[in-house]
Amino acid sequence: MPPIIAILLALLTKEVYLSLFAGCALGALLVAEFHPWVAFDTLFNTMIDSVDFSILMFMILLGMVVMLMQESGGTRAYGEWAAKKLKSKRATLVATSLLGALIFVDDYFNCLTVGAVMRPVTDRFKVSREKLSWIIDSTAAPVCIIAPVSSWAVAVGGYLGEDGFSTFVASIPYNFYALLTIFFVFFMCATKKFEFGPMKAAELKSHGVKDVHVLEGRDTLRKIATMGTSAASTDKTPADLPSIVTEEDDIEQVAAEALEEYKGMDISEKGHVYDLVIPIVVLIVFSILGMMYVGGFWDGVEFTEAVGVDPVSGLCIGATVALVAAAAMFLPRKLMKLDGFMEGISEGVRSMIGAIMILVLAWSLGGMCRYLLGTGEFVAGVLNGLGVGLELFPAAIFLVSAFIGFAMGTSWGTIALILPIVIGVFDPSTPLFLVAVGATLGGAVYGDHVSPISDTTILSSAGAKCNHLRHVSTQLPYATMVMAVCFVGYIIAGFTGTPWISLIVGLVLVVACTIILAKTNIGVEKA
């Protein structure tokens, strides 16, 4: 009952914090048999027992590093380099995708920088703003969700409980949506001739073809964007970041709202590309070394065993070293003053507060469902009683996660709601468990990817200076085609227990469907 109530409340209100807290409170009341004080004590103790402070520390340290990297001007230097060196549209598209993939540590950082940095270059080669915003959006969350050294990795690992980080890493091959989306982006950028649907119309218009226009589905998207809000609220100012953007003039206002947490940042004009690359390399290298050190590698423990002993502590070491490296690189060269450096650190901490709140509430809900209520065992028993095999359950989870992510506009919130059920239903020692985890993560990212009220979707539109609903309508067919292929993949993986057959089939289907759809004029209409 608690996770169901949390899901329904989230769909109705779009308030992730309130929904997760309500689920936790209801669970505590059920455990305490509705005795208020006992329920409060249960909820408080569950929160305390569920919190992993090493994960919270890593997220705070990573927020600091990300913010300082942004202020260093490294991404701006990358754009200046691209403007000088890139001589073709294909090279520009690939370079834009590579920059998006390089900034894997944080999806907001990706959305906030790639568009601003690469937009002048893509404009020069007549890349449509719709395609630019799609590249930004498709190399944000899909890349972050498969990056072991990221806030996403430790967050999902935290949801999964003991050995959660190792489970997350093991589930990466099963995250079909993220992997196939990244492949699809680079395939489309490298080939440059297989656009289809509304994106094809947008690209034709960017090259001066005037007798076509994009089929946007504007009314439908507007209704989706206002779902769960009252008429009174939508007539005035939409609540929070989930805002409606319908006109070109509105994008600046929405961008300002989305970028509010980065207000006051002073981006250096003296930065170089290595100011972006070196902190990331240091973060990766010293995170691995930190895992090895904590796990006792130099005391004779095997590498694979050592890195799995306490990976989050190793990540904290890597983030700390990266922070020190950033200070050593930026301060002596006066890329920023000491007060600006400290301000960047404080802004980095503040940028992680929302994610930490979701994480703590998700831990509490998961602990309540897993250890006190037996939610997973109940669901598994119901399914067995109905004679429903678990082989098809990952595919169903993928669709449910996709729907919730789409309706709520958040992948983190969706993952926090669904994983407690998955953990209880599946035996962690079986391959089907990893399939279900991958399906949850992939479905949540797809839903977030195509939702008009997603913060990353809005930020991608703002970064590319693209009309928001045109971004949503042009990206929807691309993302949905990949999603449909992934659904087939999860059916296959549910019966085989291995990701490799599904991935091979998925790659073939993505290429085949793209070529077939490129030969049609679906989504393109003559003016």
Burial class (CB in 10 A: 0-12, 13-18, 19+), 213: middle
Q: Which of 2-6, 83-87, 320-324 has the highest mean pLDDT?
A: 320-324
**Higher pLDDT among residues 59 and 174, named by residue:** 174
**Helices 353-367 and 151-159, axial angle in degrees (round to 10):** 20
**Secondary structure of residue 214 in the 3-state scheme:** strand
Would you place residue 263 in the very low, low, confident or very high pLDDT band (cuts 50, 70, 90)? Answer: very low
* pLDDT attached to residue 500: 94
Query: What are the tens digits of pLDDT across the range 21-31?
Result: 777 787 777 77
Structural contact between residues 516 and 189, judged by C-beta atoms closer than 8 angstroms? no
Q: How far apart are CA 204 and CA 210, in angstroms?
A: 8
Residue 216 has pLDDT above 60, yes or no: no
Residue 418 has pLDDT above 70, yes or no: yes
**Higher pLDDT among residues 319 and 41, named by residue:** 319
Burial class (CB in 10 A: 0-12, 13-18, 19+), 235: exposed
Rounded mean pLDDT of 454-464?
A: 78
Rounded mean pLDDT of 460-487?
A: 86
pTM of the model: 0.77
**Secondary structure of residue 210 in the 3-state scheme:** coil
Residue 281 has pLDDT above 80, yes or no: yes
Q: Which residues contact 430 (CB under 8 A, 6 or more apart)?
A: 497
**Higher pLDDT among residues 351 and 342, named by residue:** 342
Residue 319 has pLDDT above 70, yes or no: yes
**Higher pLDDT among residues 499 and 383, named by residue:** 499
* pLDDT attached to residue 236: 32
- Separation of first and last alpha carbons in the chain: 52
* pLDDT attached to residue 508: 96
Q: How far apart are CA 410 and CA 265, in angstroms?
A: 25
For residue 372, give the DSSP letter: I
* pLDDT attached to residue 177: 95
* pLDDT attached to residue 30: 76
Structural contact between residues 137 and 466, judged by C-beta atoms closer than 8 angstroms? no
Rounded mean pLDDT of 267-273?
A: 75
Query: What are the tens digits of pLDDT across the range 87-129?
Result: 888 888 888 888 888 877 667 777 767 877 788 888 888 888 8
Burial call 51-60: b when 16+ CB within 10 Å, e when fewer: bbebbbbbbb
* pLDDT attached to residue 504: 95
Residue 229 has pLDDT above 70, yes or no: no
Residue 187 has pLDDT above 90, yes or no: yes
Query: What are the tens digits of pLDDT across the range 153-175?
Result: 877 877 776 777 888 888 999 99
Structural contact between residues 214 and 202, judged by C-beta atoms closer than 8 angstroms? yes
Q: Which of 142, 143, 119, 137 is nearest to 129 (CA)?
A: 119
* pLDDT attached to residue 369: 63
Residue 6 has pLDDT above 70, yes or no: no
Structural contact between residues 363 and 47, judged by C-beta atoms closer than 8 angstroms? yes
**Higher pLDDT among residues 285 and 262, named by residue:** 285
Q: What is the pLDDT of the chain when averaged over all its residues?
A: 77
Q: Which of 274, 260, 223, 195 is nearest to 475 (CA)?
A: 195
At residue 471's C-alpha, the angle toward residues 418 and 280, to 5°, is 65
Burial call 509-524: b when 16+ CB within 10 Å, e when fewer: bbeebbeebbeeeebb
Residue 410 has pLDDT above 60, yes or no: yes
**Secondary structure of residue 525 in the 3-state scheme:** strand
Rounded mean pLDDT of 44-72?
A: 77
Structural contact between residues 283 and 65, judged by C-beta atoms closer than 8 angstroms? yes
Determine the length of the chain. Answer: 527
Q: How far apart are CA 70 and CA 276, in angstroms?
A: 8
> What is the sign of the dihedral through the CA atoms of 495, 500, 502 and 504?
negative
* pLDDT attached to residue 507: 95
Burial call 380-419: b when 16+ CB within 10 Å, e when fewer: beeeeeeeeebbebbbbbbbbbbebbbbbbbbbbbbbbbb
Give percent above pLDDT 90 in the chain.
Answer: 14
Would you place residue 445 in the very low, low, confident or very high pLDDT band (cuts 50, 70, 90)? Answer: very high
User: Residue 421 carries which side chain, given as an amino acid letter?
Assistant: I
Give percent above pLDDT 70 in the chain.
Answer: 76
* pLDDT attached to residue 50: 67
Rounded mean pLDDT of 62-76?
A: 79
At residue 225's C-alpha, the angle toward residues 150 and 413, to 5°, is 30
**Secondary structure of residue 213 in the 3-state scheme:** strand
Give 418's Cβ-side CA count (13 Å radius): 29
524 strand-pairing partners: 214
